[in-house]
Amino acid sequence: MNADWGLQSPRFPVPHFFGTRTLPPSVQGRFALGHVTEGPGEAPCLATLKQIHSTKSIILKSPVRPGPLPDQEGDALVTNHPGTLVSVRTADCVPVLLVDEQAGVVAAIHAGWRGAVAGIVPETIAICVTQFQSHPASLKAAVGPSIGPCCYEVDAPVIDPLRARYPDWPGVLEQTSVGKGRLDLKRLIRHQLLEAGLAPACIDTVELCTHCRADLFYSYRREGQVIGTMVSGAMLPG
């Protein structure tokens, strides 16, 4: 990963980025974000959706107009259309990008604790497999910046469903006191990716905490409200 103009993964083979508090001009220029033209193919189409902390994925198999998809709620966007930049917004939750170059499919996932525990990442992988003939062994994943276990103490409403579904996964939850623990969302998602069949070498993670790094990221937990979000996205080259 590097942070000169933004965050990218050297293992993720298609155009992508994990945004920071200020999306630099070079990122905007590279992806032509916010630039709408009348002619086809002049700029990538940035697709977004209303995020609801669910396990619902929206599948895009045809070009869409830039911006929020009308009447579409969910927490993952999946497409096989080159030039469509699927994106999610986060401010402590985990952005996860997936790509299978052989099958020609790319996905962007918003994984908060609810979605992560409920399985949005493996469910999105299943969509890539069933709808786009992807194979988990061909998928590559980039896991973006999120709140780290250093700053994410949770209690029973989070711990109970986590333990019920993933009782034996090491390193995901560290107990700090009775009924409380530190949750490592990125570790949970890595376990899910491996269990789904991705190779360890095909998973790259940004080990930065959004709560710690106020210079780079917004953080809902640090700020106590949503004062801004980071956008992350990926697309198949057209």
pLDDT tens, the chain, 238 aa long: 554 446 999 999 999 999 998 765 545 455 544 433 334 444 568 888 999 999 999 999 877 766 667 778 999 999 999 999 999 999 999 999 999 999 999 999 999 999 999 999 999 999 999 999 999 999 999 999 999 999 999 999 999 999 999 988 999 999 999 999 999 999 999 999 999 999 999 999 999 999 999 999 999 999 888 888 999 999 999 7
Kind of pairing between the strands at 105-111 and 45-50: unpaired
Q: Position of tokens 């080159």?
A: 82
pLDDT of residue 30: 54
pLDDT of residue 17: 93
pLDDT of residue 67: 61
C-alpha 120/C-alpha 111 separation (Å) is: 7
Q: Position of tokens 């697709």?
A: 47
CB count in 10 Å sphere of residue 215:
7
Tell me the domains of the chain and their CATH numbers: 16-147+201-234 (3.60.140.10)
pTM value is 0.91
Q: Containing H/E element for 29?
A: helix 25-31
C-alpha 109/C-alpha 115 separation (Å) is: 10
C-alpha 76/C-alpha 121 separation (Å) is: 9
pLDDT of residue 21: 87
Could you give the angle at the alpha carbon of 56 between the alpha carbons of 166 and 235, nearest 5°?
A: 105
pLDDT of residue 187: 98
C-alpha 195/C-alpha 121 separation (Å) is: 11
Of 79, 53, 40, the residue nearest 236 (C-alpha): 79
